[in-house]
Amino acid sequence: MAGKGEDSKDKLEREEYIKEGMKNNYGIYMIMSGMYIGYKWISILYISLYAFHIPLLLVTIYICKDDFTVVSEDGHFIILLTLTFSTLLSHLFNREKIDNIFEAMGRKYYDYEETLDPGTLERISKIQDESTARKQWMKRVFYVGVGSALVAVAVGRPILQYYLSELVINKELPAGVDGSKNTFIYYPWGVTNIYIRIFEYFLQDLFTLMTASSVLGIDLVFYNMGESISEQLGTLGVSLRRLQHRAAHVALKNDEIAKGRHAFIRSMHVCLKHSIKHHQLIIKIFADFKAVFYVALLWLVMGATFLLCMAGVVFTSDVPVVSKGTFASIITAELMHTYLLCWSGEQIAHLSANLPWDLYCNDWFGHSSEIMVYHRMLAMRCTQPLQLTAGGFTNINRNTFLEVVRTAFSYINLLQASNSRTARIDGKD
């Protein structure tokens, strides 16, 4: 009975830490976007709407396959919806790992007990303040980027469609296809009265809002999880750089200063033990973080390439001004989204690779025989830094962002050249 009581207490404590971690790291957006399996009705709603709209957009492309504007816009939305849908499924299947990460964030990761001296605590506090400031700044950036894209699609596009109709409608759209709201889409029931039209507009606004919520759920949670790991790596680095100060603090606290070198070495081993345990915890949480986004990052990188490509084609081609105005905000948001994900991955890898240098930077030469073994083990472990990958195919860093942009522009040039050649052939005919 006692064992069951302890298990129940531990479970309740874990749930409280998970809630705390979600509350402080925008987990609400995961819930709102159906990515957290504890709220099944939201997930079912999202999956149903995705499963309903993606085929309709594909049908629209098939019906309007000769209309470049329709194909470009709907192709972009299909990629975006498929990307968010696949990420939703990935998060649902990795609920346990997500809970592990939120629990660690709610617990503030690791307690060094009383092995941190005032100087070390001050430096760690500075790292935490800088991390919190970055999270707040990034939150505003994501809000502005996603919000501007949402307003451009759901509000700006319909208004421009109405007031600039002579610049938008180049030819009659096929029966059942409507392009007066957020995008071109085919509904099988047709338009019979105003109430059906209002219902169709509601569905378009709903899946647009869903997509924006999903992007926030992916980006904000990913960035906050990544930033928390970076913060912990920075804290660990400080604890290693100030090892001797910490050891002196522990020895003084235990009244062992007068006992000489051996007492100081014991204090140093106590401090190193805590740093190593902290490092092991970071590695464990990072493994869960990497597993959660392992496939999702592959879709994100591939999707970002095609999204930028389609947005770029629409923005640079001879398409209506409404499409260009809409995609100007979308392409900006997508560039920002891709860059920040890649930057976060590079930051984690950089900080984890620098840990042996952090240990080297304290006054080790006075205690080389005691520190050398730890330094060698740490250096050996850090030869493979904590590195996010896109499904194991490529590392997530700023070079990946450059490759995404370079590849997208290559596709844009290819598609534009193909369209120009087709137009010349049609002109000759």
Question: What does the CA dihedral 343, 345, 348, 354 come to, rounded to 10 degrees?
Answer: -80
Q: Which of 343, 341, 390 is nearest to 86 (CA)?
A: 390
Q: Looking at residue 365, what is its pLDDT?
A: 62
**How far apart are the C-alpha atoms of 245 and 298, rounded to whole Å?**
44
Give strand pairing partners of 178.
185
**How far apart are the C-alpha atoms of 150 and 153, rounded to whole Å?**
5
DSSP string computed for 111-140: --TT---HHHHHHHHHHHHHHHHHHHHHHH
Burial track 300-316 (b if 16+ CB lie within 10 A, e otherwise): bbbbbbbbbbbbbbbbe
Q: List the chain pLDDT tens, one digit each, 429 residues.
A: 455 556 677 777 888 888 888 888 888 888 888 888 767 788 888 888 888 888 988 998 888 887 777 887 788 788 888 888 888 888 888 888 999 999 999 988 888 888 888 999 999 999 999 999 998 888 888 888 888 888 878 787 777 766 665 545 445 677 777 777 778 888 887 666 788 888 888 888 888 888 888 888 888 888 899 999 999 999 998 988 888 888 888 888 776 555 666 777 788 888 888 888 899 999 999 999 999 888 888 887 887 787 777 766 766 666 666 666 666 777 777 778 788 888 889 999 999 888 887 777 776 666 656 666 666 777 777 777 888 888 888 888 888 888 888 887 777 777 666 666 655 555 555
Q: Looking at residue 169, what is its pLDDT?
A: 47
The SS3 call for residue 395 is strand
Q: Which residue has the tokens 């939150």?
A: 139
Q: What is the DSSP letter of 389?
A: B
Q: Which uninterrupted H or E stretch holds 177?
A: strand 177-178
Cα-based distances in Å from 247 to 122, 236, 239, 262 = 16, 15, 11, 12
Cα-based distances in Å from 271 to 81, 87, 104 = 49, 40, 21
Q: Looking at residue 285, what is its pLDDT?
A: 93
